[in-house]
Each structure stands twice: as C-alpha cells, then as structure tokens.
Structure 1
Amino acid sequence: MRGFDYKEVSKLLNCVRDGIFITDGEGNIVLVNKASAELSEYSEEQLIGRNVRDLINEGYFDENEVVSLKCIKSGKKESLIQKGKNNEHEITVTGVPFLENGKVELVVVTERDVADINQLEKELRENRKLLETYRTQLGQYKKQDRKLKNIIYDSKAMEETIAMCDKVASKDITVLIQGESGTGKEVIANYICDSSKRRDKPFIKVNCDAIPENLFESELFGYEKGAFTGASEKGKAGLFELADGGTLFLDEIGIMPLSLQGKILRVLQNKEIIRVGGNEYIPIDVRIIAATNTELRNAVKAGEFRLDLYYRLNVVPIVIPPLRERKEDIIPLAKHFLEIYNKEFDADLKIDKSGWASLHKYPWPGNVRELQNIIKRLVIISDDSEVTGAQIIEQLDNFDLNVADSMPLYNDLRTCVEEYEKNMIMSQMKIYKGSRELAEALGIDKSTLNRKIKKYGIKSVFLD
C-alpha cells in the first residue's frame, strides 16, 4: 500500500504483547513482530518477504492453519486455533482483512497463547468471585435495618449510651462495645457506622466466635499464592482489605487467638497488614469497632488477652446495660417486635394487661434477643387473638415471676449460680408434692436437695 511505512509500524508493534502477523492481499508477508516470531518456530528474517503459499509448499505451515489465506478468500474476519512452537502451545489466531475498493489489500493477524487466555479467564473468575463476596457482604449490610435513630428505647440508661455513640460516631477512632449476649451490640455498631463519615463505605462484620482458629489469620489478612496447601493460585484478599476505606466490626473479639492479637495491634498502630505468606506490607484505611460480651480486663489478668491491644481497643468504651437494668425499654421493645411479627406472619395478636405485667417482671437473662424470640414465638403459636400473662409464663420455662422480681443481681459467677439454684428450688416447690418428686424433676437425689434447702435457708413446704 502506498504511504505505508512498515519499518515505523514494526517498531510500534514490537511493543505489543500479542503476536502480529501482516500479509498483503496476495499473501506476501510484510510484517512480523517479535511476539509473533516467539510463538512460532521461525524468525522474522525467514518470513518477511515470503509468500505464505510458498511456505506451505516448503512445509513451514499447514494449509489449514494459515488464517490470512482464509481472509483473502472470504474477505471477512476469520479465526482458528493452531499449534505453536514445537507443538507445545495452542495459539488462538484471528485475521482481519483491510479492504480497499472491495479488494483485500492487507490482512492483519493477531496471535495469543491459549495458556495466557486461560490465565486471564482464571484471574477474571477469581476477581468476579472476590467481587461477589464483597457484594454479598455489602448486600447483607444494606439489607439490614440500619436506619439512623431506629433504636427502640425509653430508659435513661440507653439514652446515655446513645449520647455516647453520637459523640464518637463522627470521630474516626476505635470503639469497644461491651455488653451481655443479646443486648444489641451489633445494633449499636450499625448505629455508629451509619452516623459516621464512612457510612457510604464498606461495613464488614466478622463474628470471631464463628471462625475456626486455624483460619483466623487468612480470613482477616488474606494470603499470597501458594501460602499453604489448598490456597488459591492467585492468593486472596482478606476482610481488612475488603473493608478498606470503611469499617470493620469485630464481634466477640475476646475469642480471638492470642497469637493473632499482635497483628491486630499492628493494624491499629501502623494502618497496614501483611498477607499470610507475603513479605510486603499493604496500607489500609479501616476503622475498627470491636465488641465483647466478656470482661476483657479479666482476660488480660488471665493472660488470654494482650494488655496493649486492650488499651488500643478501649479508646472509647460503650457499655450497653442488660435489659433487666433498663426495664423501661421492655414494653416499647415488645410492642416494636409485636408489630414486626404481626405483619410478617399476617397476624393480629394482642397482649392483655396481665401479659404486659409478666413481660415487665421477667429478668430477661437473654436480653433483647430473648424478648424478640419470645414475641415471635407467641405470634406464631398463639391460637387466641390475645395472650395473657399466664400464657406468656408458659413460654418462659415456668420461671416464677414473683421470685424473679426480687432476685438480686451479682457480678460473681458462683453467687449468680447459687442464687439461681435457690430461686429454682423455691419456684419448683409450688409445683411438686414432695421433696422426692422435686429432686427427680431437678435431676438430683433427695439428700442433695435437702442439703441445698438447708444451705440456702429455704422454708420447706414438704412433709416428707
């Protein structure tokens, strides 16, 4: 073609990773870049200036593998797969004819090793899988009820807790949420994230209690190619990387293995991680909200939790009081759950005055989660349109509400167990006729029961 400088074009095409092979409309080879020569058995000098038909006759090429001749014949784009150098590789070959006045003037052939394509496809699948994981987690986050101010409470204690949340939410600092199981630590974490400047960024939740100890490090920090048996060939990003720019919620952090706590400390101090099997630190920008239902100070004393990590996490502690210490919240929470489950199960259940009184008296050892489950259960199983206090008590494992009302609260586990044991015996005495029958129901022998009755100073109503 006139005005076509093959030498200049050749310099440019030698920068291309794919093989480029160009013939004119007669099949004469006018250009072969270095990548194309590397894929075949022949050098540029052996090919340029020769006609592909002559090379076929001389045994250089198989006639069925010359895509340029197919393009010259059809005047259309043609593709095929052929063998590469030493028949070791398969090459995907695509020819595109350049027409002028209806006549093929040039055919541009591109070549690529199928192994490269397979690798790219594998990388694409890995990336899609990683993206899907992120979308799933993000989707779960979006589906949750995380509207601002959507925390049901009417107590002074919770008002103070929410006020503290409002103070720390806009400040990009680590937060430690403490409270018994079922008090709503995740709800508070949602609230803080929603009120922060990271509200539109990823919010990744990690239940430390649900991750096997041997997978902790790879799940949080990811791993490099070949880091361990069964590892993905491309490695994997961890949850810290997925949360980059956003918030990572570490629930039940007290369960975290001691061996991993030092790496969490490094994240908080240096804002960087290193993958399992890696040797380069990866900078990250993640806000950490941690939660625990245990007293971390006791874990520190027992040597189960690092003191330096405890201080790093406990920048601003937020304590959620148990439901028994904020009884003003029981009724509004119960009404909230009743509305939700009436709608979900197409019901119209109501609770009478005695029912509300029973709900208010019960100490709710399982906290808000237990209250939610009880209301859900009542909506599902109730045959009546209105439930009474007696019907609610049946769902509370025959707990004596009169005893529960006067039941003191202790922090010491042994004292709590003894007090519960005492109240269990007192409440069950009203049901059984004699000490032998009660002992059998409690799963202990009669002499053990009598010793406990004497130990706790319980006035026995039995004659035997």
Structure 2
Amino acid sequence: MNTELSELEQVTQEVKELRTLNRELEAIIESSYDVIYITDKNGVTLKTNSAIERITGIPKEYYIGKSVDALMKRGILKSSVTQKVIEQKRSVSTVQYNYSGKETLITGNPVINDDGEIEKVVTNIRDLSELNELQTALKKANELNNSYKKEIERLKGVTKRDGDVVIASHQMKLIYEMAERIADVDATVLILGETGVGKDVLAKFIYSQSIRAKQGEFIKLNCGAIPPDLLESELFGYEAGAFTGANSNGKPGMLELADNGILFLDEVGELSLALQVKLLRTLQEKEIRRVGATKSKKVNVRIIAATNRNLKEMVHNGEFREDLYYRLNVIPIAIPPLKGRRDDILPLIQLFLQQTNHKYGKDKIIDVKLNDFFYRYNWPGNVRELSNLIERMVITTQGKELTIRDLPIEYKESNNSSLVFTELMTLKEAVEIAEEKVLSLAVNTCHTTYEIAEALGTSQPTIVRKLKKYRLKIKE
C-alpha cells in the first residue's frame, strides 16, 4: 500500500513539474516580439503566440488546428515555409509580404526525432516594416549631419566639386580628372554628348580650375538659339552704323567679352559655313574683326565648343568645314549619357533635391521605390531631365515624401511599360511591376475587390492585400 502511494506521489510530482514547464514554455513563446508558429509534420498548426495578431490582424486562435494548405487557399499565406521545410528537411528562410501587406522575414526550422524524421516545424516571423522605418529615419538623420554625410560620400568614392558637380561613376571621374589636367592648357576643347548630359557644367568646371578664371570671364553662346543673320554680330560684334538699327556706339561681340577668359560655343554644329570661316580665322590668327569694321583686333580667348551632333558625319556631308573641325577637335571629351553611368544618378538626385528644397523652402524626401525607379529609368533627356523632374515633383507634390504615385503621368506609363525591363532586375521586382500594372487596370474597370478577384482568378483577401501594397484604390 505504501509503495503504491509512493508511486502515485511521484507521478503527481512529475505532472506538477510538467505543468510548470509548460507554463514557462508558454510564457517564453508568448513574450517573444517575433511570431513563433509551430506545426506538426503534416503542416497543421499546433501553437502560435499573440505577436501574429500584431502582424496579420487575425486572432491567434484562428490558426490553431488549420493546415498551412488551407491558409494558402484562403489567401492568408502567400507561400508556405513550413511545406518547404518538410520537403527539403532543412531550415528555410524567405522574405515576403503577409496578409496585411507587411514585409516579413520568415525562417522555418525542423524538429527532428530520434528516428531522423521531422516531428514538428517551428517558424519565426519577423516584421521588417518597422525596421525599414527605422532605417529611413536613420538615413534622414545622417543627411542632416553635413560632416558625416561628407565622410559617407568620401567612403563611397563620390566626389563633389564646385558645388554643382557630383561624380560617382568611373567614367565621369576620368573625365573630370582630365579636365583638371588640361585646365591651364590653351588648346581648344570639343565636348561631345547628348542633350542634357552636362556639357556646359564641364565647360564651367574647366574655366573654374584655370588661371583664366582670375583674368577674364566665362561667356556662353548657344549657336542654335540665335537666328543665323544675328549670330555673326553676336559673336564678333559690330561697329556704329554697321546696319539699320545698330547701336550708335557699336557693340562688342562675345569673343571680345571673353578676352583673357573662355568662350563656350554650345551647339557649334549649328554655325553657318560663312561663320565657320570667320571662326577658323580667329582661331588661327588670334584676332577678330567686327561687322562693318576695317581693322582687326587681337584677342586672347580660349574656345571650348560643344555639340550633340556628329561633326565627322557633317564634314563628310559638306555641312561642316574639315579644317575647322580639326581646329576644334584638339582635345575631344565625350560625356556618356546618364543611362550609361548609373552610379551618378543617386548622388545627382540628392544634389538636385537639396538645391530645390533650399530654393523653395521645402524639406521633401524621396522614398526607396522612387529612387529605384530613377535608377532604372533610361533618361532620354539625361541630367537636365532628372533635375527638371525633381524640381517639378518638389513643387507640385503635397506630401513631404515623394513616391512613385507622385510621378507625372508620362513617367507612370513608362514605369508600367516594357521600358523598365531594359535593365536586369530580380524576378521579384519584375513580378511586382507586372502585378501593379494589372491591378492598376483592374481598379479602373471593376467595382469591388470581389469582382477583381474573380477577374484575376485569385482570392479576395489577396486582392485587398495587393491593393494596399501598391496603394491602389477602386474608382467610384
């Protein structure tokens, strides 16, 4: 009798210890800020903690006893890490958007029994959205610290010169290193490149680094912006009474005004053949003759020319003098288009945003997805287009944060077209672009999320989640 009582007491004590251990385990699981999700070997939910309610908005009791297959069919799960763990018999990690549209890091680990078989799967789900917000806040704080920002730029290899020049790409570093070397050489420079790549910025930089910056002016003349019949007098000047309507005192031309300095001839390919002859004579003899004058005048001016046209082809077609071409082409510098030096895009964005905020008294910021669009866009208008777009968005956007939703309609269309696929991207990014395009079309034609779900062959909870993710609303 006593033996039986002793065994009963021992069992009772073990039961108490087991209950205590279970309570402690329950408390540990419940206290975790991350979601802890436990299933059996068949993927049926055994236990989860209250953290899942914070991330998904669904009570934890809902999940108990349900298989991950059923949750996927309901659209609550996008894909099952549990299934992958069971199939691969190893730990699996993935990043995905959950039911409520939050970005989460999901890691599943198998529990192996003595026979080497999976007994349970323990999954940890971490909410990355708050971490991303903290990273954004940290980035903003760093940007406000000017000295720290300069250190970051130095470590990244970003070079700033003269306030308006930002170079991060290898190509532009080589170009500006050459510009420094030839700054005090009086040889003629021919800058080649598409419209808007920054040819005038490079010309100003050469001037700023030269001794001529202390001796004379930087004068710019756009040869394509002035009618041909007025361009000669603008370039060479004119004497009093040289033609009807002429100033009674005459007028110095750009070549005279740039004496001891630099004359930047933009769009030099637009010069007429007659003016090409006069310019060639100036380069050869270092002197000019005003319109209507009988005497020439010596000038000490360095010429920097620029064009977006193919001067060699123009020479071949008889549209540009070969001798002038070789006079201008002493030091040729070709600036690549912005799409060919994408490392410059993000630093340029920060420069233009800072300048525009200061100009208009704003404090706008740019979100990650918009920066990504800027990086992938092909910029047919190059740096000038990028600068103008940022200024336009800063002025016209009401909110503090600039997003893809704030892009002008022509850019939104390109964002949803095949244009963005001209550069390599991850499959996830490509799928998201396609999803957003299809959903954008659906919200314009369907009246409810149920109609969209039926039209797209998916569940209504999935549609709700996707619309929230891409910030889309059904039109009334």
Normalised by the length of structure 2, the TM-score is 0.54
Cα shift at 1:296: 1.0
Equivalent in the alignment of 1:403: 418
Partner of 2:19: none
Match of 1:160 in 2: 174
Q: Distance in 1 between matches of 2:385 and 2:180?
A: 27
The Cα offsets for residues 247-285 of structure 1, whole Å up to 9 and x where unpaired, read as 111111111111110000011111011111222111111
Structure 2 residue matching 1:170: 3-state secondary structure: coil
**Stretch moving more, 192-201 or 340-349:** 340-349
Q: Would the alpha carbon gap of residues 317 and 401 (structure 1) be closer, same or farther in structure 2, given more than 3 Å must change?
A: farther
| Cα offsets for 1:211-263 (capped at 9, x unmatched) | 11101111111122322222233322211111111111111111111111000
* Structure 2 CA distance for partners of 1:385 and 1:225, relative to 1, 3 Å: closer
Equivalent residue for 2:184, pick from 170, 180, 187? 170
Q: Does 1:335 align with 2:350?
A: yes
| Counterpart code for 1:354 | K
Does the 8 A contact of 1:358 with 1:393 survive in 2?
no
Answering whether residue 412 of structure 2 is matched by residue 382 of structure 1, we say no
In the alignment, the residues of structure 2 paired with residue 430 and residue 252 of structure 1 have an alpha-carbon distance, to the nearest angstrom, of: 45
SS of alignment partner, residue 213 of structure 2 = coil
Determine if contact 1:152/1:332 at 8 Å carries over to the other structure.
yes
Paired AA for residue 208 in structure 2: D
Sort the Cα spacing of 1:430 and 1:325 in 2 relative to 1 into closer, same or farther, 3 A: farther
- 1:385 CA drift (Å): 1.8
Q: Which residue of structure 2 aligns with residue 292 of structure 1?
A: 307
Question: Residue 397 of structure 2 contacts residue 406 of structure 2 at CA under 8 Å; is this kept in 1?
Answer: no
Which residue in the other structure is 1:63 paired with?
none
In 2, the alpha carbon distance for the partners of 1:357 and 1:393 equals 16
Equivalent of residue 220 in structure 2, options 205, 209, 212: 205
Q: 2:340 aligns with which of 325, 330, 333?
A: 325
Structure 2 unaligned spans of 5+: 1-159, 424-435, 443-476
User: Residue 212 of structure 2 aligns to a residue in which SS?
Assistant: coil
Aligned to 1:16: none
1:279 counterpart SS class: coil
What are the within-5 Å matches in structure 2 for residues 303-452 of structure 1? 303-392=318-407, 394=409, 396=411, 398-400=413-415, 403-407=418-422
Instruction: Tell me which of 251, 266, 285 is aligned to 1:270.
Output: 285
Distance 1:390 1:252 in 2: 37
Are the aligned partners of 1:362 and 1:401 in contact in 2 as well (CA < 8 Å)? no
Alpha-carbon distance in structure 2 between the residues aligned to 1:276 and 1:393: 48
Q: Is the 8 A contact 1:271 1:284 kept in 2?
A: yes
Sequence identity (%): 46
- Going from structure 1 to structure 2, the CA distance change for 1:350 and 1:259 (only over 3 Å counts) comes to same
Deviation at 1:429, TM superposition (A): 10
C-alpha separation between the residues in 1 aligned to 2:314 and 2:251?
A: 32
Residue 371 of structure 1: SS of its match in structure 2? helix
Q: Does 1:182 align with 2:182?
A: no
Which residue of structure 2 lines up, in the alignment, with residue 109 of structure 1?
A: none
- Whichever residue aligns with residue 215 of structure 1, its letter is L
Distance 2:288 2:168 in 1: 42
Larger radius of gyration: 1
Q: Distance in 2 between matches of 1:294 and 1:211?
A: 17
Query: Aligned pair in 2 of structure 1 residues 205, 432: CA closer, same or farther (>3 Å)?
Result: same
Partner Cα separation in structure 1 for residue 164 and residue 415 of structure 2: 33
Residues 176, 313 of structure 1: 8 Å contact kept: yes
**Post-superposition shift, 1:361?**
0.9
Using the TM superposition, give the Cα deviation of residue 404 of structure 1 relative to its aligned residue in structure 2, in angstroms. Answer: 2.3
Maintained 8 Å contact 2:194/2:308: yes
Within a 5 Å distance, the mapping from 1:210-289 to structure 2 comes to: 210-289=225-304
User: What's the RMSD between the two structures over aligned residues?
Assistant: 2.4
1:393: Cα distance to partner?
Answer: 6.6
Deviation above 6 Å: which 4+ runs of structure 1? 427-433
Counterpart of 1:189 in 2: which secondary structure?
A: helix
| Conserved? CA contact 1:357–1:389, under 8 Å | no
| SS of equivalent to 1:180 | coil
Which stretch of structure 1 is more off in the superposition, 364-373 or 147-156?
147-156
Aligned equivalents of 1:342, 1:233: Cα separation in 2 = 46
Distance 1:330 1:393, change over 3 A: farther
Structure 1, unaligned stretches of length 5 or more? 1-145, 409-426, 434-464
Q: Residues 394 and 402 of structure 2 are in contact (CA less than 8 Å); yes or no, is this contact kept in structure 1?
A: no
Would the alpha carbon gap of residues 384 and 246 (structure 1) be closer, same or farther in structure 2, given more than 3 Å must change?
same
Deviation at 1:383, TM superposition (A): 1.6
CA distance in 2, matches of 1:337, 1:275: 41
Deviations 1:292-350 (A, max 9, x none): 11111111122111111000000001111110000111111011111111222222211
SS across alignment from 1:152: strand
Preserved CA contact (<8 Å) 1:166 1:195: yes
Which amino acid letter does the alignment assign opposite residue 314 of structure 1? N
Structure 1 pair 346/305, CA: closer, same or farther in 2 (3 Å)? same
Partner Cα distance (2:400, 2:162) in 1: 33
Q: For 1:172 and 1:252, locate their aligned partners in 2 and report how far apart those are by CA, in whole Å.
A: 21
Structure 1's 219 and 429: CA in aligned 2 closer, same or farther, altered over 3 A?
farther
Are the counterparts in 2 of residues 358 and 392 from structure 1 also a CA contact under 8 Å?
no
Separation in structure 1 between the aligned mates of residue 440 and residue 280 of structure 2, nearest angstrom: 55
Q: How many residues align?
A: 270
Change (3 A) 1:293 1:401: farther
TM-score by length of 1: 0.55
The verdict on how the C-alpha distance between 1:428 and 1:182 changes in structure 2, with shifts beyond 3 A counting, is farther
- Distance in structure 2 (CA, Å) of the matches to 1:148 and 1:359: 24
- Which residues of 2 match residues 75-94 of structure 1 at below 5 A? none
Partner amino acid for 1:175? V
3-state DSSP class of the match of 2:202? Answer: helix
Measured after TM superposition, the shift of residue 391 of structure 1 is 3.1
